Amino acid sequence: MGTPVSTAKTKPTRTQDPEGTRQNIIEVAAQEFALNGLAGARIDEIAAKTRSSKRMIYYYFGDKEGLYVSALENAYRQVREGEAKLDIAGLPPIGALKRLVEFTFDHHHRHEEFIRMVMIENIHSAEYLERSGVIRDLNVTAIGNIEAIYAKGLAAGLFREGLDPLEIHWQVSALCFFNVSNRATFSKIFDRDIGTAAAQASLRKQSVDMVLRFVVRDDKLGSL
């Protein structure tokens, strides 16, 4: 008798899914860069955690700096893709702005690696971000969303005149970014854990309120 032929389907390996392998490497690398910085992250460690090899990583990304840039691009792509799924075009302007701030707060809270990588890139004076051919284009939509919301709010007589959408984006980012970047030091200095669910819910609401009070006209604040 011949050797029985197995009818079980073979589970695809990572090498049969090059895009999946590449994405897995990027996601693991983002965690390593977030924890250890560009200098401290090790390709050997990333390869071990992805069950790939250094040779494969170098094939996809060239070198560690190339992998870092790809991870940084992916981090920005995730937040912009999340914004695109909000479907805020049909909301009233105040509701749309509120939804955008809530999303930003929640995304940063859930993706600490994004905050850490942005902090690391600022340490490097955005040197690697400048090498990217896509990050600037990815972030055009962030300002475009706010421009559309702001224009709609102005037309409805709800928003203050003379505000710069880029500065509104800055205010939103500052509040939501600080919530993650300085959470540990703030909690230790003032002996109050601001990372609890109750504290985060309160800070989320306050962040929304502060942005709305910055953008909405004084005589329309009663409608919030």
Q: What would the pLDDT profile of 51-91 be if each residue is shown by its tens digit? A: 788 999 999 999 999 999 999 999 999 999 999 999 888 89
pLDDT for 4 equals: 41
pLDDT for 19 equals: 85
Exposure string for 124-160, b = 16+ CB within 10 A, e = fewer: eeeebbeebeebeebeeebeebbeebbebbbeeebbe
Q: What would the pLDDT profile of 89-119 be if each residue is shown by its tens digit? A: 889 999 999 999 999 999 999 999 999 999 9
- Which are the contacts of 97, defined by CB distance < 8 A and separation ≥ 6? 146, 149, 153, 211, 212, 215
pLDDT for 20 equals: 87
Question: Residue 11 — very low, low, confident or very high, per pLDDT cuts 50/70/90?
Answer: very low
8 A C-beta contact, residue 115 and residue 104: no
Q: Where are the domains of the chain?
A: 69-223
Q: What would the pLDDT profile of 168-222 be if each residue is shown by its tens digit? A: 999 999 999 999 999 999 999 999 999 999 999 999 999 999 999 999 999 988 7
Phi, psi dihedrals of residue 82, rounded to the nearest 5°: -65, -40
Distance CA 150, CA 158 (A): 9
pLDDT at 34 over 90: yes
- Which are the contacts of 90, defined by CB distance < 8 A and separation ≥ 6? none
CATH homologous superfamily of 69-223: Tetracycline Repressor, domain 2 (1.10.357.10)
3-state secondary structure the chain: CCCCCCCCCCCCCHHHCHHHHHHHHHHHHHHHHHHHHHHHCCHHHHHHHHCCCHHHHHHHHCCHHHHHHHHHHHHHHHHHHHHHCCCCCCCCHHHHHHHHHHHHHHHHHHCHHHHHHHHHHHHCCCHHHHHCCCHHHHHHHHHHHHHHHHHHHHHCCCECCCCCHHHHHHHHHHHHHHHHHCHHHHHHHCCCCCCCHHHHHHHHHHHHHHHHHHHECHHHHHHC
pLDDT for 223 equals: 63
User: Which is more confident, 120 or 133?
Assistant: 120
pLDDT for 6 equals: 37
Question: Residue 45 — very low, low, confident or very high, per pLDDT cuts 50/70/90?
Answer: very high
8 A C-beta contact, residue 114 and residue 108: yes
Q: What would the pLDDT profile of 125-178 be if each residue is shown by its tens digit? A: 999 999 998 999 999 999 999 999 999 999 999 999 999 999 999 999 999 999
pTM equals: 0.87
